Structure 1
Amino acid sequence: MEPLYAPPGYLTAHQVARLLGIALGGVRQLVHRGQLTRAGGSPRQPLFAVHDVTALDTKRRMRAAA
Structure 2
Amino acid sequence: MEYLIPPRGLLTTKLAALNCGVQPATIRDWVRRGILTRCGGSPKRPLYRLADVEAARYAAKPTRDGQRAVNAA
Instruction: Check whether TM > 0.5.
Output: yes
- Please give the root-mean-square deviation of Cα atoms over the aligned residues, in Å: 2.3
Name the larger-Rg structure. Answer: 2
Deviation at 1:20, TM superposition (A): 1.0
More helix by share: 1
- Structure 1 SS opposite 2:53: helix
Aligned mates of 2:58, 2:31 — CA distance in 1: 17
Match of 1:47? 47
Match of 1:21? 21
Unaligned runs of 5+ in 1: none
Aligned residue pair count: 63
- Structure 1 residue ranges (4+ consecutive) displaced by more than 4 angstroms after TM superposition: none
Match of 1:3? 3
**1:11-64 alpha-carbon deviations (Å, 9 max, x no partner):** 11001111111111111100000000000001111000011111222336xxx8
- Structure 1 SS opposite 2:59: helix
Unaligned runs of 5+ in 2: 61-70
Taking structure 2 as the reference length, what is the TM-score of the superposition? Answer: 0.73
